[in-house]
């Protein structure tokens, strides 16, 4: 599989195996199938596995621990993350450290290659703070004054090799973080043909994922693309029950002309959506697969490469 430079990790595969499917967030699967999928991903040339304790209450990290018994194949790297929220400042270090230690215990590893802050970074005073549920939010100022120095401390301690942020918070806050030193080594960015975070969007206005990608490039920050099929909205059919007004269902309806175009081209929507995501300025694309069949489709997409400029233009027009 093709590889690309990825900051402190050197080169990684253009596909990353994500933990959402392994944690059984994206439809029914089994532990045995998830373990087999991890091993198949490595056999296919995937060198990066992106996890989190919240993916199935630890199931995804347990799957990787079971697959390799703490002895990763040569060249395989593992990341994890923490949805911190906004606790009292004196509790932050303990929460982050416990999250890292839990990930290490479940994966049976002694270090994470990259540790991501998975919370939405939001400036104080932003209207986002008036939402009923702000448990996923962390103030930008707290990130700057407390969290970022702690990440640097964890690197020096050898608990993690590098740190990053998930770029699903307020876009302007993410752009600020990418421009300041010390910079994250990596940022996870929405990478789909709708430019849609779906149910992860808690702010007003555009998500600006392509602006975030450009800022990361300018500042030497590696980019992990996420949500290539927007949690199923860009596939043939969403494989779990959701209410009609759910953001993923609204995006599924928005993509009706995209699916018609796929039929005209004789392409699977999921494969074409992944190929489109690979045309964006990212270094690796995180997959949300839950079984070997879905993995094989994504590997086919990587082997086929990005669509032609003409097809990309037609895809863009179909969801304009």
Q: Give the pair of three-digit tokens for residue 54.
A: 């919240």
178 pLDDT higher than 90: yes
Q: What pLDDT, on the 0 to 100 scale, is given for residue 29?
A: 76
Cα–Cα–Cα angle for 231, 237, 239, rounded to 5 degrees: 65
pTM: 0.95
Span 116-173, pLDDT tens digits: 999 999 999 999 999 989 999 999 999 999 999 999 999 999 999 999 999 999 999 9
Backbone angles phi and psi of 263, in degrees to 5: -60, -40
Span 289-313, pLDDT tens digits: 989 999 999 999 999 999 999 999 9
Give me the DSSP letters along 48-99.
EEE--TTTTTTHHHHHHHHHHTT-PPTT-EEEEEE---S--HHHHHHHHHHH
27 pLDDT higher than 90: no
Distance CA 183, CA 130 (A): 29
Distance CA 104, CA 53 (A): 10
Span 270-294, pLDDT tens digits: 999 999 999 999 999 999 898 999 9
Span 224-279, pLDDT tens digits: 999 999 989 999 998 788 999 999 999 999 999 999 999 999 999 999 999 999 99
Domains along the chain with CATH numbers: 3-233+281-306 (3.20.20.100)
23 pLDDT higher than 60: yes
Span 54-71, pLDDT tens digits: 775 668 899 999 999 999
């Amino acid at each position: 599989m093709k590889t690309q430079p990825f900051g402190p990790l050197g080169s990684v595969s253009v596909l990353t195996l994500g933990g959402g499917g392994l944690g059984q967030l994206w439809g029914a699967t089994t532990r045995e199938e998830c373990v087999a999928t991890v091993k198949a991903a490595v056999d296919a040339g995937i060198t990066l596995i992106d996890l989190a304790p919240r993916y199935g209450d630890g199931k995804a990290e347990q799957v990787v621990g079971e697959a390799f018994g703490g002895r990763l194949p040569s060249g395989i790297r593992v990341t994890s993350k923490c949805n911190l929220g906004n606790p009292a400042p004196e509790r932050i270090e303990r929460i982050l450290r416990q999250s890292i230690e839990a990930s290490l215990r479940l994966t049976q590893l002694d270090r994470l290659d990259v540790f991501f802050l998975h919370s939405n970074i939001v400036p104080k005073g932003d209207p986002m703070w008036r939402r009923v549920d702000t448990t996923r939010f962390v103030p930008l100022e707290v990130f700057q004054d407390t969290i970022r120095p702690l990440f640097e401390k964890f690197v020096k301690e050898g608990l993690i090799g590098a740190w990053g942020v998930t770029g699903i918070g307020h876009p302007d806050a993410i752009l600020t973080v990418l421009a300041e030193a010390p910079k994250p080594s990596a940022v996870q960015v929405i990478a789909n043909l709708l430019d849609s975070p779906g149910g992860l969007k808690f702010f007003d206005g555009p998500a600006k994922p392509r602006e975030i990608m450009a800022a990361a490039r300018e500042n030497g920050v590696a980019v992990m693309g996420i949500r290539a099929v927007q949690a199923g909205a860009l596939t043939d059919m969403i494989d779990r029950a959701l209410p009609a007004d759910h953001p993923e269902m609204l995006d599924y309806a928005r993509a009706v002309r995209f699916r018609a175009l796929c039929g005209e081209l004789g392409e699977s929507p999921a494969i074409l959506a992944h190929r489109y995501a690979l045309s964006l300025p990212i270094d690796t694309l995180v997959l949300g697969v839950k079984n070997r069949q879905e993995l094989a489709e994504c590997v086919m997409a990587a082997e086929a490469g990005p669509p032609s400029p003409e097809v990309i233009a037609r895809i863009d027009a179909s969801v304009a």
